[in-house]
Amino acid sequence: MENLTPSQKGAAAEAAIAATAIQLGLTVLRPLCEGRRYDLVIDLEPELLRVQCKLAQRLAGVLAVRLNTNRYTPAGICLDELHGR
């Protein structure tokens, strides 16, 4: 994974999460558009669960996940912190 770009790492994490959900018997949906605060949707019948996939590192036995993001907008670079709900 060290030689991958951030986009490739994100795609690999998303694919692994989707594959695990499917192996658990869940239905996984993918949005047609980018730019939302979720990468996958899991159909829990009757509810839909929006999932944002993150790649984690194991540091001293603890999973560390970066919970901020930078993105380009027409107004320039936007720095966001992501908060769980």
Give the 3-state secondary structure of 42-79.
Answer: EECCCCEEEECCCCEEEECCEEEECCEEEEEECCEEEE
The CATH number that applies at residue 52 is 3.40.1350.10
Residues 9-64: tens digit of each pLDDT = 989 999 999 999 999 999 999 999 988 889 999 999 999 999 989 888 888 989 88
Position 77 in a domain = yes
pLDDT top residue among 68 and 26: 26
Give the SS3 label for residue 28: strand
| Closest to 13 in 3D by CA, of 32, 37, 40 | 40
Q: For the chain, how many structural domains are there in total?
A: 1
CA-CA distance, 53 to 18, in Å (whole number)?
9
**Is 21 a member of any domain?**
yes
| 1 falls within a domain | no
